[in-house]
Amino acid sequence: MHYLITGGTGFIGTALIDKLLRDDHSVTVLTRQARQDQAPVKFVTSLDSIPADTHFNAVVNLAGASLAGARWSAAYKGEIVSSRLATTERLIELLRRLESPPEVLLSGSAIGYYGHHGNELLSEEGAVVPGFSQDLCKRWEEAAMGASDIGTRVCLLRLGVVLDRDGGALVEMAKSFQFGVGSWIGSGKQWLSWVHRRDVVAAIIFLQQRSDLSGPFNMTAPEPVTSRGFCKAMQGHKSTLFSAPVPAPVIRLLVGEMADELLLNGQRVVPARLEAAGFRFALPTLDTALGDIYG
């Protein structure tokens, strides 16, 4: 099968491509940097360069400026939004132009879609609390839904915090543990809905294969933890001398607005629709996931 992947050079995209290549698929990657093709991977820097008679079986849309890439100035927040919306809008233009549209678009989103929540368990039906991430995800999802007009099935990937050994959020989250200090953020009571990257890749392929499935899917492991629970789980895999919170005012000083949006508030999300469809997580608990990562 032939996949088109935006953001295929990123943390999730590279793992997805590794798996697709192992399964003998071919991949076209949209990237901002010109790269040498490595058959069966082809790189394009513009979607306009793709001929109308190209057929993609599936499109995976992951491109976007990292939320943790810089302090959230007005300009950087603008880039976070426009990098996702503009890429998705151009992608929909391409799909409209293709002589045979892809069967499925699997498009990025995040559990930030739900906004800030307390202890409430959130399935895909969960209530929405307005905020920056919520607005971003809503607009990103709406843009992707444009593909349904041309008969392409759309699955929205509401990603939790993706964990693996060589990148992603865990690099920062594990920093204090490397120095023997366990830490949690603020009260430690905020929920952290995580997922192992291998399960994200498997869930994307599962959704691609299941032509009966569409709409939003929470891409989180079945057992979210609190920030303090995360610290405790990490201590099972990294020896620490002591543990302590990073107080809310300190984290606000360090990272600014991002602190309240991403770190001091959270969501307790469950993958209700994936599980109902029969998807089985290889690494369903944080202990098994961290065991795999730090094994």
Ligand X SMILES: NC(=O)c1ccc[n+]([C@@H]2O[C@H](COP(=O)([O-])OP(=O)(O)OC[C@H]3O[C@@H](n4cnc5c(N)ncnc54)[C@H](OP(=O)(O)O)[C@@H]3O)[C@@H](O)[C@H]2O)c1
Residue ranges in contact with ligand X by CB under 6 A: 7, 9-13, 31-33, 62-67, 79, 83, 87, 108, 110, 159, 161-162, 168-169
Return the amino acid letter for 112: G
Separation CA 79–CA 86 (nearest Å): 10
Nearer to ligand X, 219 or 243 (CB): 219
Separation CA 97–CA 226 (nearest Å): 46
Q: How far is the CB of 193 from ligand X (least distance, A)?
A: 10
Nearer to ligand X, 227 or 243 (CB): 227
Q: How far is the CB of 35 from ligand X (least distance, A)?
A: 8
Q: Is 130 exposed, middle or buried (0-12, 13-18, 19+ CB in 10 A)?
A: exposed
Nearer to ligand X, 191 or 243 (CB): 191
Q: How far is the CB of 67 from ligand X (least distance, A)?
A: 6
Reference 163, options 243, 219, 84; nearest CA is 219
Nearer to ligand X, 200 or 251 (CB): 200
Using DSSP, state whether 157 is helix, strand or coil. Answer: strand
Partners of 47 in beta bridges: none
Residue 22, C-beta contacts closer than 8 angstroms, at least 6 positions apart: none
Using DSSP, state whether 87 is helix, strand or coil. Answer: helix
Nearer to ligand X, 76 or 294 (CB): 76
When CB distances to ligand X are compared, the closest residue is 10
Place of tokens 């995209």: 13
Q: How far is the CB of 68 from ligand X (least distance, A)?
A: 9
Q: How far is the CB of 238 from ligand X (least distance, A)?
A: 20
Q: How far is the CB of 16 from ligand X (least distance, A)?
A: 9
Separation CA 192–CA 267 (nearest Å): 6
Nearer to ligand X, 12 or 104 (CB): 12
Residue 249, C-beta contacts closer than 8 angstroms, at least 6 positions apart: none
